[in-house]
Structure 1
């Protein structure tokens, strides 16, 4: 029975990958600017105007991220007297070597500088300068990218780097060797 589940899982994964690759290619055909070596994970939503979005080289966009380059609320406002002509569109630009965490929302008229990190589940409504880390809802400045890197150095897991070429072997190493330590409750 486990073999059936493995085969079914593989088929659904292949379908999901095909669907995702097709969606990204369609968005690029519509004008999405996607830099070299950029990674777009599954379930990213580029909205109805992908031609207003630019993602530079070596950036990574995690799954569940949504790009909002117009305000849908203007449809409702236009039904009110004095607001019949309200329209709202804006561009979104992500710089080089950026990481956008899972389930983020990036709003129109926002530019993320180079070497930036946007934390998971953040709603970004303001631009981010180069080399910064933002997070939260609304997303706010947390620290500089190098400060975050220094923080991560303190908790880096040392393992034989050669294991990175074989994820199954790396997983087995982690199961056997990763210590069971947790952050204290506050």
Structure 2
């Protein structure tokens, strides 16, 4: 791909349009808030209803193979590259790094700052460095239910009024 064209696309396209432009395969109702899809974006496959926060990094290659290239003549031109596959209904938090070979199941939440490698089971919450299983989706719902407020997609002034009333009066 022409470097100038890719740079212009990066600068001017929305994250979703940019992902499509560089070859990320993704389903319906996805919302990317990142443009860091690595050097092999065409090896990233994302299901439906997936959202990322900002500063999420998708990395399909392992640069450490450079050490092997220097040690072994038969590996001089070797790369280590794997796919990334993300299921349906997944949220990926702020500043998460998803490493090569990762497979994330359906109905998964990945906490902010996590480094993800391997397979994350469906219906689960993961967080940490490296990302570890925290709890089930049902347990997450139960633990946080007292903080559920009907403020999604309402006007900011009304939302602020509700949040101030809830947090500053009741001190939960």
Q: Per the shorter chain, which TM-score range?
A: 0.7 to 0.9
Q: TM-score, normalised by structure 1?
A: 0.76
1:127 aligns with one of 102, 114, 119: 119
2:159 maps to which residue? Answer: 170
Instruction: Give the superposition deviation at 1:44.
Output: 3.9
Give the Cα separation in 2 of the matches to 1:166 and 1:40. 22
SS of the counterpart of 1:178?
helix
Instruction: Give the superposition deviation at 1:181.
Output: 3.5
Q: Deviations over 1:67-116 (max 9, x none)?
A: 01001222343122354354211111111111111000001111100000
Task: Give 5+ residue unaligned stretches, structure 1.
Answer: 1-17
| Preserved CA contact (<8 Å) 2:19 2:35 | no
Task: Give 5+ residue unaligned stretches, structure 2.
Answer: 1-9
Give the Cα separation in 2 of the matches to 1:139 and 1:156. 25
The verdict on how the C-alpha distance between 1:157 and 1:147 changes in structure 2, with shifts beyond 3 A counting, is: closer
1:118 maps to which residue? Answer: 110
| Preserved CA contact (<8 Å) 2:109 2:125 | yes
2:26 maps to which residue? Answer: 34
* Deviation larger for 164-173 or 132-141: 164-173
1:91 aligns with one of 83, 87, 93: 83
2:59 maps to which residue? Answer: 68
The verdict on how the C-alpha distance between 1:134 and 1:49 changes in structure 2, with shifts beyond 3 A counting, is: same
Give the Cα separation in 1 of the matches to 2:135 and 2:148. 22
Q: TM-score, normalised by structure 2?
A: 0.82
- Structure 1 stretches of 4+ moved >4 Å: none
1:4 maps to which residue? Answer: none
1:81 correspondence with 2:72:
yes
| Preserved CA contact (<8 Å) 1:102 1:120 | yes
2:5 maps to which residue? Answer: none
